[in-house]
Amino acid sequence: MSTRRVGARAPRGVRLELQRRVRGWSPARRDIARWASAALGRGGGGRELGVCTVGAAESARLNARFRGRDQPTNVLSFPPARLPAGCAPLPLGELVICPRVLQAEARAQAKTLRAHWAHLVVHGTLHLLGYDHERVADARRMERREIAVLRRLGFSNPYRS
């Protein structure tokens, strides 16, 4: 399958580079850009984000290599390489999303695909901004931010069962 790369500019100036390496439903690039922009907040202008959809095998390979977990995962966040000052747009990093895992989670959690996609784009973008959930206090802080961003976007709390 060929890789399709499309650029889109969100209202806040976030540039989105999208690569779809697998078939299946995924949101429109303008929606992905809007969700990432919302996570970035006011400081998001002039940033560039790459989003790549991959199959379960590729997700598992990347997860094993970079996180030591030999299984596919929903989203991986990769910060940008260090570039000289003054590069524009300023790269934020890349999200690698596995739609197969995302779809299974959405079904298991009784969420719409669109809502779960929005959550994972926001979640991954926050990781690129330095948010983490390794410690309880950090996880609470990140979840509060996710809930607030998703609420502004019209989605319900993703952590409610």
Sequence ranges of the domains in the chain = 4-152
Helix or strand or coil: residue 45?
coil
Q: Which pLDDT score is estimated for 89? A: 64
Q: Which residues contact 153 (CB under 8 A, 6 or more apart)?
A: 34, 35, 38, 118, 122
Where the chain has pLDDT below 50, the residues are 1-12
Nearest-angstrom CA–CA distance, 113 and 26: 8
Q: Which pLDDT score is estimated for 103? A: 96
Structure tokens at 155: 């989605």
Q: Which pLDDT score is estimated for 27? A: 96
Q: Which pLDDT score is estimated for 105? A: 97
Find the angle CA(110)-CA(112)-CA(116) to the nearest 5 degrees.
95
Domain 4-152: assigned CATH number = 3.40.390.30
Structure pTM? Answer: 0.88
Please report how the helices 113-128 and 136-152 are oriented relative to each other, as an axis angle in degrees rounded to 10.
130
8 Å CB contact between 61 and 54: no
Q: Which pLDDT score is estimated for 106? A: 96
Nearest-angstrom CA–CA distance, 83 and 150: 31
User: Mind giving me the DSSP string for 115-158?
Assistant: HHHHHHHHHHHHHHTT---SSHHHHHHHHHHHHHHHHHTT---T
Q: Which pLDDT score is estimated for 74? A: 97
Nearest to 59 by CA among 88, 29, 101, 91: 101
Q: Which pLDDT score is estimated for 4? A: 44
DSSP letter assigned to residue 41:
G
Helix or strand or coil: residue 10?
coil
